């Protein structure tokens, strides 16, 4: 049995998923792959099985927090030592996940987070240009995370992760808020785990349309703020 699992949260991603799975097989041939099908109404689950991935299917759409927790829970329940996460829209580069997993395997950290905004090691500054609205959101989130964690973290909403078995039980617990990446970082930091933010390159999504537009994008901003503030208050009790 492989010691590494890569999971992919997916909701109606039949168009982009095949390329993501093909790339993962090429870059990480020894890793097992599971697709967490979040109640898709298209052929996401069928495409995943055809490409040889295991599938965890929800009977209805439960949202990203539930899908992310399910992926980590699958890794913990099946005894994997290491776990990676990539999104199904094609923006994450499989080779970059390989770098994160190598860092975690080496014992340098418990959790490696792929960052669009950290530079160094051949990764240039300002290689990712956000829209003015997104840039403003990132500005406030960075300051919130510094306030909450006591350290800078530039890409707190990144979905590109590699973790070890110490982190899995914390990440497999149900998320209480709609910003699982932010809540995950707070859990990990409070538990004293070592988090490393690593520069990576990311692409534009390969197909379909972003699910974070208009009112949903605004709701995400409010959710992220609420996640940070609520966690802070809960810790003080």
Region 73-90 average pLDDT: 98
**Residue range of the domain that includes 222:** 4-236
pLDDT at position 232 is: 47
* CATH number reported for the structural domain that contains residue 173 in this entry: 3.90.550.10
Domain count for the chain? 1
Please report, for residues 70, 106, 118, the alpha-carbon distance to residue 41 in angstroms, rounded to integers and kept in the order given: 19, 40, 37
pLDDT at position 233 is: 47
The lowest-confidence range among 17-31, 151-165, 201-215 is: 201-215
Q: Which residues pair with 149 in a beta bridge?
A: none
pLDDT at position 5 is: 98
User: Is 7 a residue whose pLDDT tops 90?
Assistant: yes
pLDDT at position 54 is: 98
Sign of CA dihedral 171, 172, 175, 178: positive
Q: What is the pTM of this model?
A: 0.88
pLDDT digits (tens, 9 = 90+) for 45-55: 999 999 999 99
pLDDT at position 164 is: 98
Which candidate, 96, 74, 38, 59, places its Cα nearest to that of 171? Answer: 74
């Amino acid at each position: 049995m492989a010691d590494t699992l890569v999971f992919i949260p997916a909701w109606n991603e039949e168009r982009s998923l095949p390329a993501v799975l093909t790339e993962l097989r090429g870059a990480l041939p020894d890793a097992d792959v599971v697709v967490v099908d979040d109640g898709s109404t298209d052929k996401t689950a069928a495409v995943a099985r055809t490409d040889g991935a295991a599938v965890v299917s929800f009977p209805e759409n439960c949202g990203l927090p539930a899908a992310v927790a399910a992926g980590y829970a699958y890794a913990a329940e099946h005894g994997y030592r290491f776990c990676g996460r990539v999104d199904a829209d094609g923006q994450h580069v499989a080779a970059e996940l390989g770098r994160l997993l190598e860092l975690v395997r080496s014992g340098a950290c418990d959790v490696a987070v792929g960052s669009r905004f950290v530079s160094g090691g051949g990764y240039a500054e300002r290689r990712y240009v956000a829209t003015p609205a997104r840039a403003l959101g990132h500005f406030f989130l960075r300051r919130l995370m510094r306030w909450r964690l006591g350290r800078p973290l530039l890409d707190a909403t990144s979905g590109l992760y590699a973790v070890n078995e110490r982190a899995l039980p914390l990440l497999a617990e149900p998320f209480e808020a709609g910003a699982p990446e932010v809540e995950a970082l707070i859990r990990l930091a409070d538990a004293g785990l070592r988090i490393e933010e690593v520069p990576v390159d990311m692409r534009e999504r390969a197909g379909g349309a972003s699910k974070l537009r208009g009112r949903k994008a605004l709701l995400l901003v409010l959710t992220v703020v609420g996640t940070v503030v609520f966690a802070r208050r809960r810790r003080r009790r």
